[in-house]
Amino acid sequence: MRILISWQAYNHDYSDSSRESMTRYPNKSGPSYSIHQFFWEDSSYEKHILLNSSDKENDIKNFKNFLSTLKEDFPNRKIEGRKIPIEDVISVSEIISKLNPLLAEFAQDELECYISPGTPAMQTAWYLLGTTYKRNLKLFQTRPKKFTEDGKPERIYINLDSDLFPANITAAEKVIDSPNIKSGNGIKITKSLKPIYLKAEKIAQTDQVGVLILGENGTGKENLAKYIHDNSNRKHKPFLAVNCAAYSDELLRSELFGYEKGAFTGANEKKKGIIEAAQGGTVFLDEIGDISSKMQVSLLRVLQERKIQPVGSTKEVEINVRFITATNRNLEELCEAEKFRWDLFFRLAVTTLQLPALRDRGGDEIEEMIHHFNEQMVDKFPKKEKLKISSEVIKKLRLYAFKGNIRELQNLFIQFYTFCENEVKASDLPNRIIENKGDPRSLMEVEKNQILKIYREGRRSLVEMAGILGCTRDTLRKKLKEYGVYGGD
Ligand SMILES: Nc1ncnc2c1ncn2[C@@H]1O[C@H](COP(=O)(O)OP(=O)(O)OP(=O)(O)O)[C@@H](O)[C@H]1O
């Protein structure tokens, strides 16, 4: 299907300029109306998705009126209004993260985005998405009629291949049908992980879309990266992971890019770097927030030019790998503090996936993971029978605030299978868990759990969520920011 997508223009689509007016009148010379008047017929569009970025009651009411006018004046056209609330209309990363699911939804269709309406950040987001979804997305803008000779606005398509745009992120070679998300290969996909793995599958199908995975240590970031690789066209090629924080700057450079014989003391042999070794596959860069500013510049160059230069070499090597990155730090804050480059951030975080901490997934999911690891360890310790886990142990683990997340729980099971015979009793638990008297969670943690639960159910605006939680939208926004999830999903 050929689909036109655009944001509504809050100023120019109405004839009055005040957004505070209770009733605003559609401007029939405005951009959204003009597109129907002048370009629809020639373009054989089958549908127009008009996006509304506000969740204010008055804006929504006026948006609905605007849609009714369009539908009345152009009765045979399919015009769909979509609410995509943007909290911060100058945050490119938020806009990209909200538009991505929409574009993924229409990955099989031919899309044209009219980028003139909206804030500069919205236009930047379209550009970046345009380079990503090149396969099925075209962008155009219009020159207003006062600047044209024939008194009609002029449509100008944007050449995404021009030198103005970094050439690295081209779109998928092939879209694979989405299978059902199922646990397997040692990964247990519980209810709270399902939407994240579903999104990951869509990302997997759009080759080379930058994806940044966020989450505390041990929440399963590498597992998720591997899942993306395994569901992509690169699955038969290598998946190589590097923990960037584990190396000094120079070592990381030679690990990633390789080196020539004699490049430095001890370089007795030429060595391929991880990126070259992963040709055709995926490189997972963990702890990306910890790389030096010099390394950030090098990585940005690699992403833009798709070439690497081994240490001590004058030749460049062309590369074809997908990069997936992860961090447990707040990269946007690092950018604001000028410790991380915004341009690199935007390349890496075209899409983001946030993994929840195990303690925020609730007792039921902790229990599911307990049973999962109990099953898993029987295979790993073949001489053992499956251990019986006493109800006291389950109760203690359900209430424990696993700072090391899934890894901590998994390690516990390795201990159980190493030391316990037949049954795990409360006395087999480490002191830190035994001493966790009663419910260790403070009121603040209970509040956090509840807020995150509602937030992760998804598809609700801030206003709706605030209504359910009985707080104001501003309080909710503040809390979500505090928890580091605001705008990242
Ligand atoms: N959904 C899951 N089901 C089963 N096991 C899991 C799941 N997610 C993670 N694990 C296991 O938990 C451990 C930690 O996962 P992983 O290494 O992916 O976390 P991480 O977030 O990348 O950690 P770090 O930030 O410390 O590098 C691994 O052994 C992994 O196999």
Asked if 54 and 150 sit in the same domain, the reply is: yes
- 305, 324, 354 - which closes a domain: 354
Q: Ligand 1 pocket by C-beta < 6 Å: which residues?
A: 186-188, 193, 215, 217-223, 286, 328, 406-407, 410
Which pLDDT value is given to residue 404? 93
Q: Which CATH number belongs to the domain containing residue 316 in this structure?
A: 3.40.50.300
Rounded distance between C-alpha atoms, residue 8 and residue 21, angstroms: 17
Question: Domain for residue 175, yes or no?
Answer: no
Mutate to test the pocket of ligand 1, among 213, 222, 365 (most ligand atoms within 8 A of CB): 222
Which pLDDT value is given to residue 123? 85
Q: Which residues contact 21 (CB under 8 A, 6 or more apart)?
A: none
Asked if 277 and 417 sit in the same domain, the reply is: no
Q: Which of 144, 155, 141 is nearest to 113 (CA)?
A: 141
Asked if 118 and 234 sit in the same domain, the reply is: no
Question: Domain for residue 217, yes or no?
Answer: yes
Mutate to test the pocket of ligand 1, among 223, 286, 379, 409 (most ligand atoms within 8 A of CB): 223
Atom in ligand 1 nearest the alpha carbon of residue 225: 18
Which pLDDT value is given to residue 178? 39
CA-nearest residue, atom 23 of ligand 1: 218
CA-nearest residue, atom 4 of ligand 1: 187
Asked if 276 and 143 sit in the same domain, the reply is: no
Asked if 426 and 281 sit in the same domain, the reply is: no
Question: Domain for residue 173, yes or no?
Answer: no
Asked if 378 and 293 sit in the same domain, the reply is: no
Q: Which CATH number belongs to the domain containing residue 140 in this structure?
A: 3.40.50.10770
Task: Tell me if 94 sits within 8 A of 128, measured CB to CB.
Answer: no
CA-nearest residue, atom 5 of ligand 1: 187
Asked if 240 and 284 sit in the same domain, the reply is: yes
- 354, 378, 404 - which closes a domain: 354
Structural domain including 460 reads: 443-482
* The pairing of beta strand 271-272 with beta strand 282-286: unpaired
For ligand 1, the distance from its centroid to the CA atom of residue 407, given in whole angstroms, is 6
Task: Tell me if 248 sits within 8 A of 204, measured CB to CB.
Answer: no
Question: Domain for residue 348, yes or no?
Answer: yes
Asked if 374 and 241 sit in the same domain, the reply is: no
Question: Domain for residue 186, yes or no?
Answer: no
Question: Domain for residue 188, yes or no?
Answer: no
* Amino acid, res. 201: E
Each residue's pLDDT tens digit in the chain (489 positions)? Answer: 999 999 998 888 988 766 666 778 889 888 999 999 998 988 889 999 999 999 888 889 999 999 999 999 999 899 999 999 998 888 877 888 888 888 877 877 899 999 989 888 888 888 878 876 766 788 998 887 777 777 788 888 887 655 344 333 333 323 333 345 666 678 999 999 999 999 898 888 877 578 999 999 999 999 999 999 999 989 999 999 999 998 899 999 999 999 998 878 777 888 899 999 999 999 999 999 999 999 999 999 999 889 999 999 999 999 999 999 999 998 888 888 889 998 888 888 888 899 999 998 889 999 999 999 999 998 888 767 899 999 999 999 998 989 999 999 999 999 999 999 899 999 999 988 988 754 545 667 778 878 887 887 766 788 888 888 878 888 888 888 888 776 544
Q: Which of 60, 90, 94, 88 is nearest to 352 (CA)?
A: 94
Asked if 288 and 394 sit in the same domain, the reply is: no
Rounded distance between C-alpha atoms, residue 69 and residue 28, angstroms: 10
Which pLDDT value is given to residue 291? 96
For ligand 1, the distance from its centroid to the CA atom of residue 468, given in whole angstroms, is 32
Which pLDDT value is given to residue 183? 64
Asked if 419 and 459 sit in the same domain, the reply is: no
Q: Which CATH number belongs to the domain containing residue 397 in this structure?
A: 1.10.8.60
Residue 108, exposed/middle/buried by CB under 10 A (0-12, 13-18, 19+)? Answer: exposed
For ligand 1, the distance from its centroid to the CA atom of residue 103, given in whole angstroms, is 29
Atom in ligand 1 nearest the alpha carbon of residue 187: 3
Atom in ligand 1 nearest the alpha carbon of residue 410: 12
Rounded distance between C-alpha atoms, residue 182 and residue 204, angstroms: 15
How many structural domains comprise the chain? 4
Mutate to test the pocket of ligand 1, among 212, 373, 407 (most ligand atoms within 8 A of CB): 407
Asked if 226 and 310 sit in the same domain, the reply is: yes
Question: Domain for residue 162, yes or no?
Answer: no
Which pLDDT value is given to residue 473? 83
- 354, 372, 395 - which closes a domain: 354
Question: Domain for residue 274, yes or no?
Answer: yes
Torsion on CA atoms 298, 303, 305, 311, rounded to nearest 10: 40
Asked if 301 and 206 sit in the same domain, the reply is: yes
